[in-house]
Structures are given as C-alpha cells and as structure tokens.
Amino acid sequence: MAYDPNNIFAKILRGEIPCDKVYEDDHVLAFNDINPQTPTHILVIPKGAYVSFDDFSEQASEAEITALVRAAGKIARDAGLAEPGYRALSNTGRDAHQEVPHFHLHIFAGQNLGRMIKPADK
C-alpha cells in the first residue's frame, strides 16, 4: 500500500492539525489519543512516512526503529506505567482494523486491561 500523505497523522506531523503532545525527538512524536480507550491512551508514531508496522519493520532505518522503541519505553516509564503495567499494541491492516495508515504504537494503561484480546464476531 502506498503511503497517503493526507492521512491524519501526516497532518499532525506537519502541524496542520493540533495534537496533545506527550513526547518528541528527531524521529518520534507521541500524543494522547483523541478517543481514549483506557484512562491512559498514548499514540507513538515515527516521523517518517510508514504505512504500518509491516512497512516500518521492513523499510525503516536502524536509527528510526531504535528511536521508536526507546521512546515508547521511556514514555511509559516516565508516565509511571512500568510498574502497574501497560499494553503496547499496533494494529496492522484490515483484520486488525487499522484506521490510520501511518504506523503507530498504542500505549494503553490506567486500568486492568484483561488478559488478551477478544476476536470480533464473524
């Protein structure tokens, strides 16, 4: 799938629409989800143009991958989430209901998150 430069996270990265920023460095931006599913719900995204985790894991540089993973861990740690715990998750493609075609890692926390996921009804 080709990268769509008009997706909502590309617009956030260009500063065309606002976000509630949590963290930023040369490779990474993180902000609160506009429709949080848990008391804490942060989105961590690369600044580079990657459609999905599939695309990012294949095409991104070592520096970009390292930066995103390090940033996600630091964001969670700095928010005090490491001890109670959190879930880091990336929806990739149709079956995972990925809505925004710019790779993002969700960080969910602030409540008991249950053991795992429930598949949708067929």
Q: Which residues are at the interface with ligand 5GP (CB under 6 A)?
A: 8, 19, 31, 33-35, 91, 97-100
> 1 and 49 in contact (C-beta within 8 Å)?
no
- Rounded-to-integer distance, Cα 7 and Cα 116, Å: 29
Closest to 99 measured CA to CA, from 3, 5, 8, 1: 8
- Rounded-to-integer distance, Cα 117 and Cα 80, Å: 24
Distance of closest approach, residue 19 Cβ to ligand 5GP, in angstroms: 5
Distance of closest approach, residue 109 Cβ to ligand 5GP, in angstroms: 14
Residue 45 or residue 60: which is nearer to ligand 5GP going by CB? Answer: 45
Residue 14 or residue 83: which is nearer to ligand 5GP going by CB? Answer: 14
**Residue 104 annotated among the catalytic residues of the structure:** yes
